[in-house]
Chain A
Amino acid sequence: DAGVIQSPRHEVTEMGQEVTLRCKPISGHNSLFWYRQTMMRGLELLIYFNNNVPIDDSGMPEDRFSAKMPNASFSTLKIQPSEPRDSAVYFCASSSRRSKNIQYFGAGTRLSVL
């Protein structure tokens, strides 16, 4: 299996621009999670989906952030407009009960907003 695939690996953008991060979960996994990692706040959950339905989005910082999962194979996290304080590493992870709820992480996207 290819594991969780995230793109892009790095993203550099200017303040005010729209940013879209992408994630392909492991085939057969029905839960998908978006996390953000910063030096100040560590790793924190932004949102998670179960069977393509958002279950908990209480970690989404503002209305500028939105996430979608149109099908079991793809999810996006969008920031519009982006701000310098959004600079972080964004991780996607997937899991299933069959995998004993172990979350497998993608390589992350490092976002820099100038």
Chain B
Amino acid sequence: AQTVTQSQPEMSVQEAETVTLSCTYDTSENNYYLFWYKQPPSRQMILVIRQEAYKQQNATENRFSVNFQKAAKSFSLKISDSQLGDTAMYFCAFMKLGGSGAGSYQLTFGKGTKLSVIP
């Protein structure tokens, strides 16, 4: 079974500054995806960014980028130029690929990091 650990329950950042959220995972799989989801107070789960494990290049989406270290099983999220709308819970998630049996294609989530952007 896979586990996902987010060691920072809460973080805060000044508006326009940069913040990095940490995530580590444990798996024996070689073929998987990693995700960051954002959950604002509205409760909606919103995809922020996705990383395919076979790709060495780190994924980027506008102000959001990841630092993917496969050997270390680390997947951190960097938010640049933080905005008030970035205030939310951020969840790191793991998806095993391959086959259609138990454990494949489902998301395993970390406990989340609550990010507050301070004006």
- The answer to whether A binds B is yes
Q: Which residues of A contact B (CB under 8 A)?
A: 31, 33, 35, 42-45, 48, 50, 55-56, 58, 89, 91, 93, 95, 100-105, 107-108, 110
B45 neighbours in A (Cβ, 8 Å): 91, 93, 105, 108
Are A42 and B43 interface neighbours, CB within 8 A?
A: no
Are B44 and A50 interface neighbours, CB within 8 A?
A: no
Residue pairs across A and B with CB atoms within 8 Å: the count is 54
Given A45-B107, A55-B102: A102 and B50 interface contact (C-beta under 8 Å): yes
Are A103 and B101 interface neighbours, CB within 8 A?
A: no
Q: Mark B88-116, 1 if CB is under 8 A from A, else 0.
A: 00010001010011110111111110000
For the complex, count residues of B whose C-beta is within 8 A of A. 25
Given A42-B111, A101-B95, A101-B97: A56 and B43 interface contact (C-beta under 8 Å): no
CB nearest to B42 among chain A residues: A107
Distance in angstroms from A90 CB to nearest chain B CB is: 11
Are A55 and B100 interface neighbours, CB within 8 A?
A: yes
Are A104 and B112 interface neighbours, CB within 8 A?
A: no
Are B102 and A107 interface neighbours, CB within 8 A?
A: no
Are B43 and A45 interface neighbours, CB within 8 A?
A: no
Query: A33 CA to B101 CA in the complex, in Å?
Result: 14
Are A42 and B109 interface neighbours, CB within 8 A?
A: yes
